[in-house]
Structure 1
Amino acid sequence: MKIVYAGTPEFAVPGLQALAQAGHAVVAVYTQPDRPAGRGRKLRPSPVKEAAQGLGIEVRQPASLRTADAQAALRALGPDLMVVAAYGLILPPAVLETPRLGCVNIHASLLPRWRGAAPIQRALLAGDRETGVTIMQMDAGLDTGAMLAHRTTPITPEDTAGTVHDRLAALGAQALLDVLPGLAAGALPGVPQDAAQATYARKLTKDEAMIDWTQPAAQIARQVQAFNPWPVAETRWRGAPLKVLEARALPGAVEASPGTPSQATREGIDIATGEGVLRVLRLQLAGRKAQTAAEFINGRDIGQEPLPN
């Protein structure tokens, strides 16, 4: 098959690499235009662009796929299939209809749960015990197409959005390779999604990362998991921003006001919450390197002043 690949962030790189390593004919890669990044605001290519250039594949970066010129350029490639993974641009009907076998998407959730922009983080925030990837035949809706394959992975207390992201990227690449023979043979019927079971994974905001110590410790621990590596759960300590990178919820009643540090040992810094205790294991002051709890308390008096909500 002649395949066009469309993706932008790191999540989409393993799928592209898997296609190339398996010998599939990737005739072009579509990715978003280079964006300003860093202190100097220099233009930076996407991870998928860098990967495609390393593989010697043509890269195209239209600002939109809605123009007649962009759609004609895609048709000229004569693709059998378009594979999409976190591309970041909406595919209009004319694009969805261009490849002979349509467009398939690598989506980072077990559809129909967590359609939308932030499925990994929403699964962690909700306390889901497992997540996965879905290979989906794309249609005009938001992650509403028929499902071609699922691959699952458990979510552990040690996971972060970053670790789950990496596992799902690898699972998605393998699942994609698994479905291609059936797609090429026309022998892989899709399973319609049950819209009644659908949930929506809205985009993350920095405001969501602020810790409310009146919440239960279990909920705050999930917040810490979900927002690592971005935007990172945050509180304030003695007037300065303090990022919480790793934490665990401890059971048991607490008498102190929410946000009050109850003890600080090499095992962690215990902070009272609205229900239970949150043990902070790794944290980072603004402008400093990330530290373990043991490193943070070395030479510091944590005190018992409640952290703000």
Structure 2
Amino acid sequence: MRLLFAGTPEVAVPSLRALLEHPVHEVVAVLTRPQARSGRGRRLSRSPVAELAEQAGVEVLSPDKPTEADFVRRLEELNVDCAPVVAYGALLREPALSLPRHGWVNLHFSLLPAWRGAAPVQHALLHGDDTTGASTFLIGPGLDDGPVFGVLTERVRPGDTSGDLLARLAEAGAPLLVATLDGIADGSVRPQPQPGDGVSYAPKLTVADARIDFGLPALAVDRRIRACTPEPGAWTPFRDSRLKLGPVAAVAAPVDAPVAAGELLISKSAVLVGTATDPLRLGWVQPAGKNSMPAADWARGLRLESGVRLG
């Protein structure tokens, strides 16, 4: 089939690479988000998908919106059979939706109908799911509610961050997307409607969502930090600025005295922070304007003593 691939971030790269290497399907163009400013220098940079497409000599389309007349006109000219989508980052609407013969097929990183929306992996971690996965489905006008072609499952590991889990799903999902397109091409797969039960939504997590409340139980604190790593980045107020927090760990040995929520217990080799239940061991931290560092190094550099509070 002639394909238009739509995707933007690094997690879309494994799927695009698999399709570029496919012996039958042909990626005739790529749709990706326009250049964006990133990094400390706020320089304009192309998306990872655009970089791979240009290396492969594939046409790159980057409209501000996929409803723009010039993009729709070019999509008509390309005469594509199907448009696979992985984390493109913009809503698809008519008339573009109807132009590929077999529609737009999305690889979504959840077991639909669970976690429809922009941040399914983050919400799976935030809510303590033991298992998640990926689904391929036919995009329609609704939010991730189209009929499903295929699924795969993935166990959530105890220390997973959203970055860890998303990277595994991106690699595992690429063969699922390829198999789905193969099945569409030869007529061996038909999408099945999503069940009406078990629907949940996963809106994008904001910077405000990533603020850590140490008055919550240790389990909830751990989940929120892992869900927000690397994006949008867990943080807590400290001395009139934000202190970014990396994943934490349970404390192996009992602590002699109670540690209040947000209170630090500092030793030469570790920094513990109190929660509503058990204290947690801080991993790396990142003060505003500085590089990340082990929490013990941070505390030593500021000559902090036990009893100082976060939050």
TM-score, normalized by length of structure 2?
Answer: 0.91
Kept in 2: contact 1:236–1:307 (CA 8 A)? no
Shift of 1:300: 5.6
**Superposition pairs of residues 63-102 of structure 1, within 5 angstroms:** 63-102=64-103
Q: Secondary structure at the match of 1:270?
A: strand
Residue 303 of structure 1 aligns with an amino acid whose one-letter code is E
**Superposition pairs of residues 294-305 of structure 1, within 5 angstroms:** 294-298=296-300, 301-305=303-307
CA deviations over 1:199-250 (Å, ceiling 9, x no partner): 1101111111211111111101111101111222112344443221120245
Q: Secondary structure at the match of 1:134?
A: strand
CA deviations over 1:23-60 (Å, ceiling 9, x no partner): 32101111111123345544321111111001110111
Q: Which residue in 1 is equivalent to 2:274?
A: 272
Q: Secondary structure at the match of 2:247?
A: strand
**Superposition pairs of residues 200-279 of structure 1, within 5 angstroms:** 200-250=201-251, 255-264=258-267, 266=269, 268-279=270-281
- Give the Cα–Cα distance (whole angstroms) in 2 for the partners of residues 200 and 174 of structure 1: 25
- Give the Cα–Cα distance (whole angstroms) in 1 for the partners of residues 274 and 243 of structure 2: 16
- Give the Cα–Cα distance (whole angstroms) in 2 for the partners of residues 136 and 97 of structure 1: 15
Kept in 2: contact 1:261–1:302 (CA 8 A)? no
- Give the Cα–Cα distance (whole angstroms) in 1 for the partners of residues 305 and 91 of structure 2: 51
Q: Which residue in 2 is equivalent to 1:307?
A: 309
Kept in 1: contact 2:84–2:105 (CA 8 A)? yes
Residue 120 of structure 2 aligns with an amino acid whose one-letter code is P
The percentage of aligned residue pairs carrying the same residue is: 39
**Superposition pairs of residues 125-204 of structure 1, within 5 angstroms:** 125-204=126-205
Kept in 2: contact 1:264–1:302 (CA 8 A)? no
Q: Does 1:283 align with 2:285?
A: yes
Change (3 A) 1:273 1:42: closer
- Give the Cα–Cα distance (whole angstroms) in 2 for the partners of residues 68 and 240 of structure 1: 45
Corresponding pairs, count: 308
Kept in 2: contact 1:18–1:177 (CA 8 A)? yes
Q: Which range moves more in the overlay, 136-145 or 173-182?
A: 173-182
Q: Secondary structure at the match of 1:96?
A: helix
Q: Secondary structure at the match of 1:258?
A: coil
Q: Does 1:19 align with 2:19?
A: yes
Q: Which runs of 5+ in 1 are unaligned?
A: none
Q: Secondary structure at the match of 1:117?
A: coil
Shift of 1:294: 4.2
Kept in 2: contact 1:264–1:297 (CA 8 A)? no
Instruction: Give the CA RMSD over aligned residues.
Output: 2.1
Residue 287 of structure 2 aligns with an amino acid whose one-letter code is L
Q: Secondary structure at the match of 2:6?
A: strand
Change (3 A) 1:63 1:300: closer
CA deviations over 1:50-72 (Å, ceiling 9, x no partner): 11001110111122222444222
Kept in 1: contact 2:132–2:154 (CA 8 A)? yes
Q: Secondary structure at the match of 1:115?
A: coil
Residue 267 of structure 2 aligns with an amino acid whose one-letter code is A
Shift of 1:195: 3.1
TM-score, normalized by length of structure 1?
Answer: 0.92
Residue 109 of structure 1 aligns with an amino acid whose one-letter code is S
Shift of 1:293: 3.6
Kept in 2: contact 1:114–1:123 (CA 8 A)? yes
Q: Secondary structure at the match of 2:132?
A: strand
- Give the Cα–Cα distance (whole angstroms) in 2 for the partners of residues 288 and 39 of structure 1: 11
Q: Which runs of 5+ in 2 are unaligned?
A: none
Shift of 1:297: 4.5
Q: Secondary structure at the match of 1:5?
A: strand
Kept in 1: contact 2:226–2:247 (CA 8 A)? yes
Q: Which residue in 2 is equivalent to 1:2?
A: 2
Shift of 1:299: 5.9
